[in-house]
Chain A
Amino acid sequence: MSTLPSDSQKLVPAPGLPESILRGTLVGLIPLGLLVVVLAFVLAITALTRQLLATSGFFVQQEWVLIVLIAGMVLAIVVYAGSIWRILRRMATWQQAGMREQARSALWALGATALVVIIPVLLTLLLPQRPAP
């Protein structure tokens, strides 16, 4: 019995062009989404730590808030870099499987992620400041 390519396409339909672009873009935006979620979580935990230690004195409060914030930033870096690494590997797999459009859209999404991450820093260069004379 032969397995015809047309049959297999019926069983697992290959994504169309717009669908593969959408899927690639969404996958490419995962690191940005994770970064936002982790940073929001870290800020919430930092605020909670500050509230919980409000009566412990300035130095204790500052020390623990900084520990939480710095640990949270390290966590954010690890999650962000790890997710990028995984997506780059997945993109290579897509490339090898001939899913070029999906891989390319994921790459564009990663490029956009890099810009979104750097935009706040660039904005601080452009923000007008009015220092006192």
Chain B
Amino acid sequence: MSMRKSSPAVPAQPTKAGRGFRRLVNVLLTLSAVLAFSYAAISIYIDTKLVYEPQKPLYATPASLGLQYRDVIFPSREDHLQLHGWFIPGVLSKGRLTAQRVIITVHGNRGNRADKSAGLLNFSGALARHGFAVLAFDMRGNGESPPAPLSLGYFEQRDVLGAVDFLRSGPLPYPDLGRPRSIAGWGVSLGASTLLLAAAREPAIRAIVSDSAFTDALPLLEREVPKGGHLPPFFTPGALLAARAIYGMDFYDVRPVDVVAQIGPRPLFFIHGDADSFIPPSDMSDLAAAARTVSNAHVQTWLVPGATHARSYTTHPQEYVSRVIAFYTAALGPDSSAT
């Protein structure tokens, strides 16, 4: 009987080419992991810088203009953030007060309800002196309202809708003046875009003045994110995706141009400075064109000569007020208690 001797297994050594390929794959694996995770980490860092800045305090109140007002606090729609604002009653002849027609004023990015640079307090005062009550409030993350991430209107539209709910069913700041008969909106820059987004969802906003609105948040972010973060533009998509993961906001969905047609046939008045280098005046043309696609559209535009971004009111205050008052009067009708 013969025994077959089994020879010990000789380990198969990889060839030179095989070793080279393996080394290449190792390098690729390391490089891809380092690049992908670094990209994600930098995107997250950009987001934390992008979405919040310390809130600016109010520099004055309507009392500094000799106007009566009440501090109000109301919840935003859906997420119930407690927003701070002023209710300024309209002033009629002989000093009588009215709250029949209320204008919700919406400030711009990183501002507040008194925003000095845009002349917001003075403008609110001018509206009140022309017989329109004003609800001026701080959007989330601004002024005295609670800190929140800046979302370019994605979340802020809930604040405008909360203001509408407050006027329609909240406690009356001046019970003797009763509930408002009609509600309209005025917004500047981010406030204007936010107002357009909110008005598309809320028919109670019966007329809108949109000063320096953008059509789409994305081109602004593609310009501003690299500038603010001092990083190349290819980090912008990562930062936008990270914003979705961290804050649940979708900047790709912030496109007033897509919803502005839903506002019609309610009247719209678009204002834009012709020297605006932050949001190009072509955005107004695009918004107006989109708004006119609906039948019975009531769309006005005013390209303000010499005005830079959100400075149309401060550049031509008297003409600005007279045009806006004429628009609101035509849209909302006269104050019945005035006669």
Contact = CB atoms under 8 A, between A and B. Distances in A.
Interface of A: 2, 43, 46-47, 50, 54, 57-59, 62, 65-66, 69-70, 73, 76-77, 80-81, 84, 88, 95-98, 100, 104, 107, 110-111, 113-115, 117-118, 120-121, 124-125, 127, 129-133
Interface string B2-44: 0110000101111000100110111011011101110111001
A89 B246 CA distance: 37
Identify the 7 closest CB pairs spanning chains A and B, nearest first: A131-B223, A118-B32, A114-B28, A131-B222, A132-B219, A58-B147, A96-B11
A95 to B, nearest CB: 6
Contacts of B36: 117-118, 120-121
Contacts of B37: 73, 76-77
B21 A107 contact: yes
A56 to B, nearest CB: 11
19 contacts: A2-B3, A47-B245, A58-B147, A62-B48, A62-B247, A70-B41, A77-B37, A81-B33, A95-B12, A95-B14, A100-B12, A114-B25, A115-B28, A117-B33, A118-B28, A118-B32, A121-B35, A132-B223, A132-B279
B246 A69 contact: yes
Contact of B12 (A59, A96, A107, A124): A96
Contacts of A133: 223, 277, 280
A125 B148 CA distance: 31
Given A2-B3, A114-B29, A131-B233, A104 B148 contact: no
Interface centre among A59, A70, A129, A132 (most CB of B within 10 A): A132
B220 interface: yes
Contact of A2 (B4, B149, B235, B245): B4
A43 B79 CA distance: 21
A118 B31 CA distance: 8
A23 B94 CA distance: 90
Nearest to B215: A132
B62 interface: no
Given A73-B37, A129-B222, A132-B222, A57 B246 contact: no
